[in-house]
Amino acid sequence: MRPGPEADGEIVRAVLAGDRERYARLVERYRDRYARYAARMLGSADAAEDAVQDAFVRAFDQLSQCKDPDKFVSWFFLILRNRCFAERRRNRTESSLEAAESVAAADRTDGGAEAGERRRALQLALMELTPDQREVFVLKHVEGLSYGEIAERLSTSVPSLKMRMHRAYDTLREQLREHK
């Protein structure tokens, strides 16, 4: 029987015991998955790459504070999330244009011009949401999480998430109508 993939907790404990190189396995395992979240939050694939890199370095530095090594990824997500929110506060003006360019780059390989234009318009509209609203939209409709899963991850309630999301739907509709 082939052994299954090494559990996150096992890797974290090994790194804390001095096997630093093993940390690369965690980076490899989660970098792309969380780069998508960061790209949609920041509106730029380049900014997302930097954010994910910084978050992994910070997570390494604070690894001894990860109370439950088996839940490394939930803990890592919160570090990345803080990094993305801070980045948005710093860099608000550049992102919309980069968002459009980022999506435009994807259009060349994915679907026709009309579909690409709709994606571009939605990505620009997403950047007009508050970070809290954008996050719940990204986690549900890009990452495919349920409200229950998002609530657990963000330590909040489902009704509060739905309220944020429903405001987001209205803002997106308004933005997309203005774009037409």
Partner 1 sequence: MSEHEFHPLVKQLLDGDITLADLPADLRAEGEEALRLLAAVDRSVVSVPAVTWRVMAGLEQRRRRVRPWLLAPALALAAALLLWIMPAKPAAPALVTVRFVLAAPDAHEVSLAGTFNRWDSHATPLVRSGPTGVWTATLTLPAGQHQYAFVVDGVRWVPDPGAPAVDDGFGRRNSVLTL
Other CB atoms within a 10 A radius of the CB of residue 33 amount to 12
**Given the rule CB under 8 A, which of 29-37, 67-75, 79-87, 128-136 is the region that contacts partner 1?**
29-37
Around 141, how many Cα atoms within 13 Å sit in the side-chain half-sphere? 16
The SS3 call for residue 49 is helix
Nearer of residues 12 and 38 to partner 1, judged by Cβ: 38
Q: Confirm if 130 and 51 have CB atoms less than 8 A apart.
A: no
Of the candidates 3, 4, 28, 112, which one interacts with partner 1 according to CB under 8 A?
Answer: 28
Of the candidates 71, 118, 128, 154, which one interacts with partner 1 according to CB under 8 A?
Answer: 118
Give 123: exposed, middle or buried? Use CB within 10 Å, 0-12, 13-18, 19+: buried
Query: Which chain residues interact with partner 1 by CB under 8 A?
Result: 20-21, 23-24, 27-28, 31-32, 35-36, 38-40, 45-46, 48-49, 52-53, 56-57, 60, 94, 98, 103, 106, 110, 115, 118-119, 121-123, 141-142, 144, 147, 162, 165-166, 169-170, 172-174, 176-177
